[in-house]
Structure 1
Amino acid sequence: MKLLLACLLCSSFLCAQSTMKYTANAAQPFGKINPTAPPETADYAPLIGTCDCTSTTRKADQSWAEPQDMTWTFKYIMNGNAVQDETLKEDGSHSGSIRQFVADSSRWYVHYYSNTAPTPILSAWEGGKRGDSIVLYRAQKAPNGTEGFFRITFSNISDEGFNWLGEWVNTNETFRFPTWKIVCTKTEDD
């Protein structure tokens, strides 16, 4: 009976390991993309790993603040079917996102969270690849009430790093106002 129980437990453990082979672990700290995931999951492949970044935001007077250092790490989650990122900034403000591609809508849905503005409902951006960039949108009115979007653009994406830009744009994207820019250099990858 003990032998049967030991065999059953061992086979259950081996089964669980083989079904989670794309999850982050000591051997693959950033996980791996699951070959059964939507092909678009690879949109973020060059970002997987850790980058040293410089983050610059606007001050209340609309001038650019002094840049601050931050670390930005991307990894595969949900057994290689989605991407999670985490930022750690020198001023103690930290944030992250869960990025999941939904094949039915052919769009990325990105849910953002932060330690400086915890909310019971996570805000979400949606979008996808546009050329060599990844572009995401969330509806947001300008301070004067003009309809528009907050647009996030990942650009200059390579195995060496990427640029990130957050900006308000009007609905037809003829006007834009950048509010946050980040430049990242890869320091660790899979």
Structure 2
Amino acid sequence: MRIFLLLLVATTVMNAQVPTMYVANAAQPYGKLNPEAPPETADYAPLIGKCNCTSTARKADQSWGEPQQMTWTFKYIMNGNAVQDETLKEDGSHSGSIRQFIADSSKWYVHYYSNIGPTPVLSAWEGGKRGDSIVLYNEQKAPNGTDGFFRITFNNISEKGFNWLGEWVNTTETFLYPTWKIVCTKTEDD
């Protein structure tokens, strides 16, 4: 019994010493940037919070589909050292990402998941800031077998919202084909 009490006290003391001042809570529902995180973690600072968005994707016949309403929420996780986002779409499809900047490679690594299909292994998008935009890549062949990437670009980023564009690009980025676009406006409660 004495050993159990000592372990309980030791565990309680160790847990009490872990600083968690940057986690999401009632006072800061989206968490807070940890000042000891890599400075690039602030790349997503203007996106932190909740946005009302309009998402438009291409249909199988390559025409643009009907716009769909969605919310997109970004928050700091891992005690302010990374970013997580979640989309809730009116058609019931939802997705999210865990975004972590790795200083050793000077890149963002973004792990995407969705409720549309099982995700036993999370794919990793890579990239970073390019001017005022955030650009991420995931290797993907075109339907005809041409090597290339699916490129995601966050642009027009401000405290009021942002735009997002998904497009296939060839390896030299001389050819691009947009397949998905999202326009987001921050909600008033942020």
Q: How far 1:15 sits from its partner (Å)?
A: 2.8
CA–CA distance in 2 between the matches of 1:137 and 1:170?
11
SS in structure 2 of the partner of residue 126 of structure 1 = strand
The alignment of Structure 1 onto Structure 2 pairs a total of residues equal to 186
CA–CA distance in 2 between the matches of 1:177 and 1:27?
43
Q: Deviations over 1:31-76 (max 9, x none)?
A: 0000000000000000000000000000000000000000000000
What root-mean-square deviation, in Å, do the aligned CA atoms of Structure 1 and Structure 2 show? 2.1
Q: How far 1:188 sits from its partner (Å)?
A: 5.0
Corresponding residue for 1:114? 114
Distance 1:9 1:50, change over 3 A: same
- In the superposition, the TM-score normalised over structure 2's length comes to 0.92
Distance 1:106 1:54, change over 3 A: same
Equivalent residues in 2 for 1:66-85 (5 A)?
A: 66-85=66-85
Corresponding residue for 1:43? 43
CA–CA distance in 2 between the matches of 1:87 and 1:140?
23
Letter in 1 for 2:177: F
SS in structure 1 of the partner of residue 187 of structure 2 = strand
Distance 1:148 1:13, change over 3 A: closer
CA–CA distance in 2 between the matches of 1:131 and 1:60?
33
List alignment gaps of at least 5 residues for structure 1.
none
SS in structure 1 of the partner of residue 36 of structure 2 = coil
CA–CA distance in 1 between the matches of 2:15 and 2:187?
34
Corresponding residue for 1:150? 150
Equivalent residues in 2 for 1:19-98 (5 A)?
A: 19-98=19-98
Displaced runs of 4+ in structure 1, greater than 3 A? Answer: 7-14
- In the superposition, the TM-score normalised over structure 1's length comes to 0.92
CA–CA distance in 1 between the matches of 2:115 and 2:77?
21
SS in structure 2 of the partner of residue 41 of structure 1 = helix
Give identity over the alignment, percent: 80
